Chains A and B, each alone.
Chain A
């Protein structure tokens, strides 16, 4: 089967990553990469090839409307593969799209290839313990794990407008509040100091932030600190259900090292850990370990770092 490879994400940064995945895949299905946009072409989205702008659809979603508009365009234009960024909104778009188009769906791909008849996607399963390659016939929808591809630097080609109409939506938005976002971009940080439940109080986080900035790095955390305690925003949350990072150095402080956390940092170049428990699983996944109380070890590390200056 031949056809284009479409890419879509409602999140501009993820959209540029998915666009790069589409550029890589397009030759295999003898088509071109197409960046799908809703309402208007966004400046922040990079991607080579055509830009398909769906008119009529509300620009900021909801997913229900986005899926309907994209499916209308897909039914008339017939792409071979539709890649959707696996964000929380994106997963709904992809799921609805696959059902509406009556095609298969491969989830959470970190690598994608095609032989022209099928598409194969590599993903991690069982809390990151296993890497699986899944194959489905074309046409197919694939959700793409954010952080798996670099951002496209391609220049926008022709812009094609498509009137997808304004679909009915049932779920009404009553309000939205942005989470407090720092200036963290964990995906591009070379050094990450990551905080876990070993940290007793929110007020102690600046100590770790200080260590991170002295190492020219950023602060991350385990899921409980962001999701349950709300000490840090979700963009700091590393692991299966958060972001996947691959820094040069990952320093886990007071993190036990459960599989779901390891899933988000196991590809780091060097891993070091500080934990009071010598048997904590994090040490099995580390190159260097210090058994000790973070409230003593972190100040000692800061002192050792400044010793040279």
Chain B
């Protein structure tokens, strides 16, 4: 079975810095593999160990994105495809078009695995867009997967229900974080990852025929959390009484 797994080199939200006006410094911001992408890689590796085949990691991003691709290779993916693009942040149309085009070039896939969403933007649009572009079936938010040669069965985690479905192949599947516990690569695997083949493709070569719809970023600013940050001290009973008192004074509890 040929399995592709999409990974994103996401902005590391914890490391984000701001200029004095409160604008985030996106250029040069530290990145990391999307937290849920690791669940997608793990799911791909488990499919391979059950039914055999190859796992190809695919990423769209700047030169930095190679780090996340390497991480997927260290976890166990066999080879990688890096679509070199300006980090065109926040445009799922473009990312999905590049992923679909590069997957068409990279081989015939039975399964394309993605995370439910990236850890920096969490829009959840790229996986179904890739499915629509490739004409594949789509199963979103899978928490359990069972793959045979001709079909995939999955349990989908929806807001109000758990749904079990059967889908023909080829299919794009997005997985939720509770689907599995991602493995940690060993030091040897990390070293070996550098020797695995990575094909580099330029975005403009993939999308030469017609671009995608533009999304422009108007403004970005930090959310300010202006809080009082008062610690209520004393014995447990004293602190509790002080808190109840303060909340009554604020008028936010009516008891």
Binding site for B on A (CB under 8 A): 11, 63-64, 67, 86-89, 91-92, 94-96, 98-100, 102-108, 120, 124-137, 140, 143, 170-179, 181, 190-191, 214-216, 227-228, 234-235, 240-241, 248-249, 259-260, 262, 266, 269-272, 278, 283-292, 296-297, 300-301, 303-305, 307-308
Contacts and interface: CB of A to CB of B under 8 A. Distances in A.
Nearest to B253: A215
A134 B217 contact: yes
Nearest to B29: A126
A285 B225 contact: yes
Contacts of B101: none
B13 A127 contact: yes
Given A91-B128, A216-B253, A300-B241, 5 more contacts: A92-B138, A99-B133, A134-B90, A174-B166, A259-B14
Contact of A176 (B141, B163, B178): B163
Contacts of A285: 225, 227
Most interface-central of A11, A287, A288 (chain B CB within 10 A): A288
9 contacts: A89-B140, A95-B124, A99-B129, A126-B13, A127-B120, A130-B222, A173-B164, A178-B160, A308-B255
A300 B37 CA distance: 42
Interface of B: 11, 13-14, 16, 24, 90, 92-93, 96, 116-117, 119-129, 131-133, 137-141, 153, 156-168, 176-178, 213-223, 225, 227-232, 236-237, 239-241, 243-244, 246-247, 250-255
B132 A99 contact: yes
A60 to B, nearest CB: 11
A208 to B, nearest CB: 14
Most interface-central of A214, A227, A297, A301 (chain B CB within 10 A): A301
Q: Does more than half of chain A's interface fall in helix, strand or loop, or is it mixed?
A: mixed
Contacts of A287: 227-230, 250
Contact of B237 (A176, A249, A304): A304
Contacts of B127: 95
B225 A266 contact: yes
B121 A179 contact: no
A300 B240 contact: yes
Q: Does more than half of chain B's interface fall in helix, strand or loop, or is it mixed?
A: mixed
B150 to A, nearest CB: 13
Contact of A290 (B16, B165, B227, B243): B243
A241 B174 CA distance: 15
Nearest to B245: A304
A88 B219 CA distance: 27
A27 B132 CA distance: 32
Contacts of A94: 125
Contacts of B216: 134-136
Contacts of B132: 67, 95-96, 99-100
Most interface-central of A173, A190, A272 (chain B CB within 10 A): A272
Contact of B161 (A130, A176, A283, A300): A176
Contacts of B158: 88-89
A184 B232 CA distance: 30
Contacts of A86: 124
B237 A98 contact: no
Contacts of B138: 64, 92, 171
B228 A96 contact: no
Given A127-B13, A137-B213, A171-B166, A92 B228 contact: no
Given A95-B129, A134-B215, A134-B218, A129 B252 contact: no
B119 A127 contact: yes
B219 A91 contact: no
B159 A136 contact: no
B120 to A, nearest CB: 5
B163 A107 contact: no
A130 B123 contact: no
A129 B119 CA distance: 12
B92 A107 contact: yes
Contacts of B247: 249, 270, 272, 288
A172 B165 contact: yes
A181 B161 CA distance: 9
A125 B120 contact: yes
Contacts of A174: 153, 164-166
B95 to A, nearest CB: 11
A279 to B, nearest CB: 12
A286 B228 CA distance: 7
Contacts of B128: 63, 91-92, 95-96
A129 B16 contact: yes
Contacts of B157: 88, 227, 234
Contact of A266 (B161, B163, B213, B223): B223
A305 B158 CA distance: 37
Contact of A143 (B125, B222, B241, B254): B125
Nearest to A125: B121
A270 B249 CA distance: 11
A300 B240 CA distance: 6
Most interface-central of A124, A178, A241 (chain B CB within 10 A): A241
B223 A131 contact: yes
A109 to B, nearest CB: 10
